[in-house]
Amino acid sequence: MDHFDQIVVGGGLAGSVLVYQLTQQGQHICWIHKGQEKSSTAVAAGLINPLVFRYLTSVWKANELLPEAVNFYQTIEEISQRNFLHPITIAKVFGDQDEAIWQQKMKKPEIAQWIDSIGNVPHNDFLFQPFGAGFVQGYWLDTVVFLEEINKIVAGQAVILSERFDLDELHLTSDGVTYKNRFHAKKLIFCEGWQAVKNPFFDFVPFRPVKGELLTLKIENLNSNYLLNKDVFLLPLGHDIFRLGSTYDWNDLSDEPTKSARANLLTKLASFLNTKVEVIDHQVGVRPAIADRRPVSGVHPDYPQLAIFNGLGARGVMIAPWLGKQFLELLLHQKPLNEEIDLNRFVKK
Ligand SMILES: Cc1cc2nc3c(=O)[nH]c(=O)nc-3n(C[C@H](O)[C@H](O)[C@H](O)COP(=O)(O)OP(=O)(O)OC[C@H]3O[C@@H](n4cnc5c(N)ncnc54)[C@H](O)[C@@H]3O)c2cc1C
């Protein structure tokens, strides 16, 4: 039997960030994941925006999450000598009421801190912007490159099993868990993304998964370095390639791309961009969201051998490094979690 401190299940953003952070603390990890099959991370646009444009409010805990995230991804960039966290100026293309709302909200320092300026997107003949635009500094994480690099880094420090985890092979023991009668760990941490809805141990967590669809487009001569946003976002990837996203569907959780999502995205784009676009790819993922829109982490109330790290929702890139740090404090130093992110909030007292 091989002995570990933890077994971690799932190789999306949650599992990757957590496995890296645990190995940094000297923990001996067995990481079970099968590539990026059905991973929300692999299709995510990877955007970090400290503002919620719909209400023009700060993202929950943005002041803590943003520096933690930037620092985390930049550290991995340095180790891997690859660039995957890209700063980008987000241009929110205004509707007729927006400028007045932005001017009003900018009187609040907690909102003003994120806004660079109000004006017009320069040198863009295709863009319809009669009411101007607001500019915010953000980032986008190339999630595919990030996952690739973190797997390489961790490969030297953890045992990676490239397979699907089978719950029937799990046994709880007095001092932890065994898996396939070959691996023993003090704890097993589930980072299964939205597929956690099928995990019987955590059936009391009110998951509310949201399917999202994205298009990859070729748009010639747009030459935009801005992340344009008006109901949908258009992210420039270089060489006339852009990503257009994204949709939200709580009912259809299949991994099939739909004609209606494609039409919806293209119609919204056409409302502010007047040029020919060519669709070259259409991707689908399901965001692991929770009913109260907060992430979830913690140790099972009845089976202390089992834990969960999940619920990254639509903003996982910004949340994961901070959440991992909080969770490590619980796992390694028994420091209680903030109520808002604690699994215990769903445990009936
Ligand atoms: C269209 C779309 C756009 C998005 N855009 C953004 C964005 O711009 N910014 C942002 O921050 N977030 C975005 N997100 C959300 C982001 O993708 C998630 O917050 C985050 O990636 C979730 O990571 P995760 O690891 O929890 O889940 P996942 O990435 O889904 O990973 C879970 C992994 O666990 C594996 N797994 C599950 N069960 C098992 C098992 N039994 N055995 C082995 N492996 C298992 C799955 O195969 C999967 O690889 C977007 C999501 C979608 C769908």
Decide if pLDDT at 224 tops 90: no
How far is the centre of ligand 1, averaged over its atoms, from the C-alpha of 173 (Å)?
Answer: 30
Rounded distance between C-alpha atoms, residue 62 and residue 204, angstroms: 28
| pLDDT (mean) for 50-56 | 95
Cα 120 to Cα 116: distance, rounded to the nearest angstrom: 12
299, 292, 284: which is closest to 344 by C-alpha? 299
The CA distance from 156 to 116, in Å, is 42
164 lines ligand 1 (CB under 6 A): yes
Nearest CA to ligand 1 atom 4: 44
pLDDT at 342 over 70: yes
Which of 346, 5, 15, 36 shows the shortest CA–CA distance to 190?
15
Q: What is the DSSP string of 207-240?
A: B--EEEEEEEEE-TT----SEEEESEEEEEEETT
Confidence of residue 34 (pLDDT cuts 50, 70, 90): confident
3-state secondary structure of 78: helix
Question: Which of 202, 187, 186, 227 minimizes the C-alpha distance to 346?
Answer: 202
Mean pLDDT score, 238-265: 96
Give Cα separations from 116 to 91, 136, 137, 196 (angstroms).
Answer: 10, 5, 7, 39
**In a 3-state reduction of DSSP, which class is residue 131?**
coil
Angle at 11 between CA 8 and CA 13, to 5 degrees: 105
Ligand 1 site, residue 150, Cβ cutoff 6 A: no
Residue 131: name the closest of 121, 123, 141, 139 by CA: 121
Provide the pLDDT for residue 37. 67
Token representation of residue 88? 């980008």
Residue 123: what pLDDT? 80
**Amino acid letter for position 286:** V
Of the chain, the percentage scoring pLDDT greater than 90 comes to 95
Ligand 1 site, residue 214, Cβ cutoff 6 A: yes
For the chain, give the mean pLDDT.
Answer: 96
Q: Could you report the per-residue pLDDT of 293-326, keeping only the tens digit for each? A: 999 999 999 999 999 999 999 999 999 999 999 9
Whether residue 208 is predicted with pLDDT greater than 90 in this model: the reply is yes
Which of 8, 9, 13, 306 is the best mutation target for the ligand 1 pocket, counting ligand atoms within 8 Å of the beta carbon and taking the most?
A: 13
Distance in angstroms (rounded) separating the CA atoms of residues 159 and 148: 16
Q: Is 9 in the pocket of ligand 1 (CB under 6 A)?
A: yes
Distance from the alpha carbon of residue 312 to the mean position of ligand 1, in angstroms: 8
If we measure between CA atoms, which residue out of 267, 234, 288, 248 comes closest to residue 39?
288
State the pLDDT at residue 349: 76
**How close is the Cα of 37 to the center of ligand 1, in Å?**
10
Place of tokens 């500094």: 137
Task: Characterise 35 by phi-psi region: left (phi > 0), alpha (psi -120 to 50), beta (else).
Answer: left
Which pTM value belongs to this model? 0.97
Averaged pLDDT for residues 133-158: 96
Q: Which domains does the chain have, with CATH numbers?
A: 2-43+145-205+291-346 (3.50.50.60), 76-140+208-287 (3.30.9.10)
∠331-78-31 over CA atoms, to 5°?
40
Ligand 1 contacts CB of residue 232 (under 6 A) = no
- What is the pLDDT at residue 348? 84
Is the Cβ–Cβ distance between 30 and 163 less than 8 Å? no
The SS3 call for residue 261 is helix
Query: 307: CA distance to ligand 1 center in Å?
Result: 18
**Cα gap 15→33, rounded to integer Å:** 9
